[in-house]
Amino acid sequence: MRDAVTSLIKNYDLNGRYFDRDAMEQLKSYFNSASARLAIAAVINANAASIVKASGVQLFEEVPELIRAGGNAYTTRRYSACLRDLDYYLRYASYALVAGDTDVLDERVLQGLRETYNSLAVSIGPTVRGVAIMKDLVKAKALESGISDLSSIDEPFDHICAELGEISL
């Protein structure tokens, strides 16, 4: 797993370049935002179960056909699998948040996921909506915890949503 620093170094090394002004600004930004990113990750860690549960509740209120007969979250097993997946995305989003880089999402979560969901006939749109709900809940929890710099929250969640690539419900 790479972080923003190792990704930056790798890119400059591949091109045989010294760090330029842009690289130095990226490093400065990464280190300046470290405290906020770590504080947000701590909020996620402390509230993961409630974030996942609340996002599931909101998702199923918005898209009730998911929990009706024939829906992808119908039956206890499927409902639990949905919440498990949301928890999985939340955990990996927190890793990407700390790393300041979304590579971990691509390497460990997103490669092949869309194809897997399609082969299992799992609707991707509701999954994307669930991730978006979690992003909003993380922002709210971070604000409640007194964290004012929320700028790093969007990137990992938006990356998951964009890579899954289907937003229609």
- Please tell me whether residues 102 and 22 are part of one structural domain: no
Q: Does one domain contain both 25 and 69?
A: no
- Do both 14 and 69 map to the same domain? no
169 within some domain: no
Query: Is the same domain home to 21 and 39?
Result: no
pLDDT in tens, 17-62: 999 999 999 999 999 999 999 999 999 999 999 999 999 999 999 9
Please tell me the distance from the alpha carbon of residue 41 to that of residue 36, in angstroms, as a whole number: 9
Q: Please check whether residues 77 and 16 belong to one and the same domain.
A: no
Q: Whole-prediction pTM value?
A: 0.89
CATH number for position 40: 1.10.490.20
CB-based burial label for 155 (10 Å; 0-12, 13-18, 19+): middle
Are 126 and 68 members of one domain?
yes
Quote the pLDDT of residue 115. Answer: 82
